[in-house]
Amino acid sequence: MTPDRPTATPDDVVGALRGRLVVSCQAREGEPLHGPAHMTAMALSALDGGAAGLRLEGPADVAAVRAVTGVPIIGLWKVGAAPVYITPTMDAVHAVADAGADIVAVDGTGRPRPDGSTFADVVRAVHGIPGRLVMADVATLAQGRAAEAAGADLVGSTLSGYTGPGRPPAGPDLTLVGELAAALSVPVVAEGRIATAEQAAEALLRGATTVVVGGAITRPASITARFAAALDSARTALVAQEGAR
């Protein structure tokens, strides 16, 4: 915990995020921006732009950013190659909490966790630390209901499109966001493939308590790729026009 925010309660944390933007700053190993120094710079840039909270991956990044800001942090740790990879073990849960995350995000799909722990075990452990909350990353409405019943403090649409065969669809699942918001009592987090400011605003209008945007803000390589692909298409169109003359 940073000294400037020693008494943040769960209500403070959710209150600070209500109606506001959370920016997810994540870079995988091997990417140029991987590592706590780059992710801290990215997080501070997001805060300069008006983000109210941050979503960070790995205890090292959580601890580095915790040291420089008191805003709410959603922490997770992607570990292993099993289907459940978002904070998949109790060790990972404790590491993320110990690093200073206010909200520990974990897979909330109900699929088997690699260490045999249950979602209820996670809730018990996190609630044992004063002021800490659990966010369930789910893919469906049924999973959201089950996570709430098992004690999740927040439920996010994070994993929609990522648990079945094939590639995820292009856009965000705002239908699921609306369904979760209508059915659950706990705050709903809209997350996953939100690519425009308009989609972020729409998520709020559909009942999300807060909106997490990642790659559209913090992944320069994929942002660049979209522009480069658009120019590739334009070049192809120009060549076709010239060929038709």
Ligand X SMILES: CC(=O)N[C@H](C=O)[C@@H](O)[C@H](O)[C@H](O)COP(=O)(O)O
The residues that touch ligand X, with contacts defined as CB under 6 A, are: 24, 26, 76, 158-159, 162, 191-194, 212-216
CB-CB contact of 160 with 173 (8 Å): yes
The nearest distance, CB 54 to ligand X, in angstroms, is 12
Which DSSP string do the residues of 125-192 spell out, in sequence order?
Answer: HHHTSTT-EEEEE-SSHHHHHHHHHTT-SEEE-TTTTSSSSSPPPSS--HHHHHHHHHH-SS-EEEES
The nearest distance, CB 238 to ligand X, in angstroms, is 32
Crossing angle for the helix pair 90-98 and 59-66, nearest 10 degrees? 20
Identity of the residue, 92 or 216, whose beta carbon is nearer to ligand X in the bound complex: 216
Identity of the residue, 159 or 177, whose beta carbon is nearer to ligand X in the bound complex: 159
Q: How far apart are CA 96 and CA 49, in angstroms?
A: 25
CB-CB contact of 161 with 173 (8 Å): yes
Of all residues in this chain, which one has the CB nearest to ligand X in the complex? 214
Identity of the residue, 141 or 213, whose beta carbon is nearer to ligand X in the bound complex: 213
How is residue 6 written in tokens? 């020693």
Identity of the residue, 173 or 242, whose beta carbon is nearer to ligand X in the bound complex: 173
CB-CB contact of 56 with 67 (8 Å): no
Identity of the residue, 87 or 117, whose beta carbon is nearer to ligand X in the bound complex: 87
The nearest distance, CB 72 to ligand X, in angstroms, is 15
The nearest distance, CB 212 to ligand X, in angstroms, is 6
The nearest distance, CB 116 to ligand X, in angstroms, is 22
